[in-house]
Amino acid sequence: MTKTDATVAVIAILETLAESKEGWAPETYLYLPLQQAIPGFTLDDWAYIRGVLEETGYVHIEHNVVTLTDRGHDIVKKLAEERAKRKAQR
């Protein structure tokens, strides 16, 4: 997994959780799509992504349930604002 793959995975997970009606998702719902989308994606890669998400404070993981934190919501909002700015510049 490349750094770009890892970055895309983190952003995809954050945005998926933000869009979730419940505000949380089982780990498998997040891991399995990455396994399909990123060639060679392994459990070690998932452990790395999981660690990044937890260490940054963007998510809370308990009993294999991933919940977006307030800090996670903030970064998703900033990502959306940046995306809108770039789109407006085109």
Predicted confidence (pLDDT) per residue in 43-64, tens digit? 999 999 999 999 999 999 999 9
Fold of 3-89: Arc Repressor Mutant, subunit A (1.10.10)
Q: Token pair of 33, please? A: 């799509």
Provide, rounded to the nearest whole percent, the portion of the chain with pLDDT above 90.
Answer: 92
Scanning the structure block, which residue is given the tokens 């934190």? 69
Pairwise CA distance, residues 29 & 34, whole Å: 9
Q: Within 13 A of 19's CA, how many CA atoms are on the CB side?
A: 8
Rounded to an integer, the average pLDDT of 31-37 is 94
* SS (HEC) of 14-51: HHHHHHCCCCEEEHHHHHHHHHHHCCCCCHHHHHHHHH
- Of how many residues is the chain composed? 90
Q: What is the pTM of this model?
A: 0.91
Domain layout of the chain by residue ranges: 3-89
